[in-house]
Amino acid sequence: MPTAPQAAAPILSLPSRSQRAGSAKTSPVRDLLALTARPEVISFAGGLPAPELFDVEGIRAAFDAVLDSPGVLQYSTSEGDPGLRDAVARRYSSDGLPTAASDLIVTTGSQQGLGLISTTLVDPGDTILVEEPCYLAALQTFALAGARVVGVPYVGDDLDLDALDRLAAHHGPKFFYTVPTFQNPTGRTHDVEARRTIAAIAQRRGFRIVEDEPYRQLRYSGDALPSLAAFAPGHVISLGSFSKVIAPGLRIGWIRTTADIRSSITIAKQAADLHTSTIDQAAAAHYLASGRGELTLSRIREAYAARRDAMLEMLPSALPDGSSWNRPDGGMFVWVRLPEGRDAASALPAALAHDVAFVPGTSFFSGIPDERTLRLSFTTYSPARIREGLSRLGATWGTGR
Ligand SMILES: Cc1ncc(COP(=O)(O)O)c(C=O)c1O
């Protein structure tokens, strides 16, 4: 006997994604930038280290050397490899910032550090102050933590310190996030006086500072500057990374934390991924101890300095008249402001038609964007290729250059 058809189960709509997940913005220029993957495009858009400068031989030797060591293929502690933490601590101390290995927690890239700090310090609705413009993936991390992000503007190339003080007084932020040296996206650096003042404001207004320093060692001219932690040791959490000085694929960074939140950050790390790859940490420690890290870094610095100089020499002929840009002492980026009436995002399709690309600055703003801005990265190509790319860029502006 045929059975009666079963009544279809009512279709229930699935619970929606969290409000936090919806609040992390994606960039409207993403699709356009996907076009930069065409091999004929000279892309100044990415923020990638130059792959030909990776010390493949040295990294291979480090992995070979540690592979047989006890424990490197085993689970390990959440704080990280003791030898690696010790090596990083000694580097801070010899740079004038006394640091013990126990002050450090190894992270899976400094990007994870941003997430762990947000988990540890931010409740939904809390305010965080950031530089305006700011590193995009930090903005995404803070949005995912449910933070209210408020931008502190620049006056020219200097952070508006009065605005920092005013906004801190008004919002009572949990922390101020800064990339004090060769910032992403602008390449700007806070000078010693600005650092001293930022630290003093944090102490007076009672907020923390999260200083993110992936570019600190990529200095090609000028003198090294003290860490913000040197001015307000109890207020500053510092992040570091090997991504720009060894290789980003290693995914090794660290948090130099203050004692009061060390155990909370360690628990957040444990909950996130138990620990950063044991073998990668052991190889990084071995690599540093071998002395090859310093050699590689000087090669990287030398190459990037020549690339920066090639870009700075060409920019006057590659940009419309009335454009302005900075001359960073290091890092990977130059920040450009086009003249009145120009809009960087609208100019990108024409640039792509000429097989050259940049990132419009709008993606990096937490508040109202400056549509005249764009970011150029100078690390990826040889000086000759940079000159070729910039001469293509110069051809895209049409009349009125
Ligand atoms: C300012 C800043 N912070 C953090 C990161 C993430 O670096 P990591 O590879 O160490 O996660 C980047 C990467 O470009 C960056 O520019």
Whether residue 365 contacts residue 151, with contact meaning beta carbons closer than 8 Å, is answered with: yes
pLDDT at 32: 61
Is the beta carbon of 253 within 6 A of some atom in ligand 1? Answer: yes
Distance from the CA of 354 to the center of ligand 1, in angstroms?
30
Banded model confidence at residue 139, pLDDT cuts 50, 70, 90? very high
Is the beta carbon of 248 within 6 A of some atom in ligand 1? Answer: yes
Give tens-digit pLDDT for 250-260.
Answer: 999 999 999 99
Give tens-digit pLDDT for 86-123.
Answer: 999 999 999 999 999 999 999 999 999 999 999 999 99
- Domains of the chain and CATH, by start: 23-54+294-394 (3.90.1150.10), 56-292 (3.40.640.10)
pLDDT at 28: 53
- List, in order, residues 6 or more apart from 356 with CB less than 8 Å away: 41, 42, 43, 44, 389, 390, 392, 393, 396
Whether residue 121 contacts residue 147, with contact meaning beta carbons closer than 8 Å, is answered with: no
Instruction: Out of 105, 106, 110, give the residue to mutate to test ligand 1, the one with the largest number of ligand atoms within 8 Å of its CB.
Output: 110
Is the beta carbon of 240 within 6 A of some atom in ligand 1? Answer: no
Distance from the CA of 132 to the center of ligand 1, in angstroms?
17
Other CB atoms within 10 Å distance of the CB of residue 200: 14
Averaged pLDDT for residues 242-248? 97
Distance from the CA of 214 to the center of ligand 1, in angstroms?
6
Query: How is residue 119 written in tokens?
Result: 């988990």
Q: Which atom of ligand 1 is nearest to the CA of 242?
A: 10
Is the beta carbon of 212 within 6 A of some atom in ligand 1? Answer: yes
Give tens-digit pLDDT for 151-184.
Answer: 999 999 999 999 999 999 999 999 999 999 999 9
Averaged pLDDT for residues 287-316? 97
Give tens-digit pLDDT for 180-225.
Answer: 999 999 999 999 999 999 999 999 999 999 999 999 999 999 999 9
Instruction: Out of 112, 241, 273, give the residue to mutate to test ligand 1, the one with the largest number of ligand atoms within 8 Å of its CB.
Output: 241
Whether residue 356 contacts residue 42, with contact meaning beta carbons closer than 8 Å, is answered with: yes
SS (H, E, C) 368-379: CCCCCEEEEECC
Q: Which residue bears the tokens 């940009």?
A: 319
| Plot region of 109 (φ>0 → left; ψ -120 to 50 → alpha; else → beta) | left
Query: How is residue 377 written in tokens?
Result: 């990265």
Q: What are phi and psi for residue 130, nearest 5 degrees?
A: -135, 160
Is the beta carbon of 361 within 6 A of some atom in ligand 1? Answer: no
